Amino acid sequence: MVEEETSSGLKLNQPAGHVEQKETLVEAAIRETKEETRYNFFPKEFVGIYHWQNVENKSGYFRYAFSGDASDKLENGQLDTGIVRVLWLTADEILS
């Protein structure tokens, strides 16, 4: 999980982002995870497709979720703008 600054204050979120031109969904998941967490991500399974609706501005997004493994933290580079920190949480911690 990442803790990030949003228009509604600090929020927990999964690493996420947009697919760039000529990039596959898997390539985007790897790149976005690296940019937002500074960890290399190795996708193993496709979890699902989720539709999220922003009630404030009426926009919507389809989210493609993957599970996999992460490597040791990369030392070089900074987290994406707005990302405050990376958190490793259990399912119970996320739900609470």
Residue 85 three-state SS:
strand
Task: Tell me what pLDDT residue 78 has.
Answer: 87
pLDDT, position 53: 92
What pLDDT, on the 0 to 100 scale, is given for residue 40? 94
pTM of the predicted model as reported, rounded to 2 decimal places: 0.84
State pLDDT tens for residues 28-77. Answer: 999 999 999 999 999 999 999 999 898 888 899 999 999 999 987 887 77
Query: How big is the chain by its Cα radius of gyration, in Å?
Result: 14
Q: What angle do CA 76, 83, 5 make, to 5 degrees?
A: 160
Distance CA(65)–CA(67), nearest Å, equals: 7
> What are the φ and ψ backbone dihedral angles of 87, each rounded to 5 degrees?
-125, 135
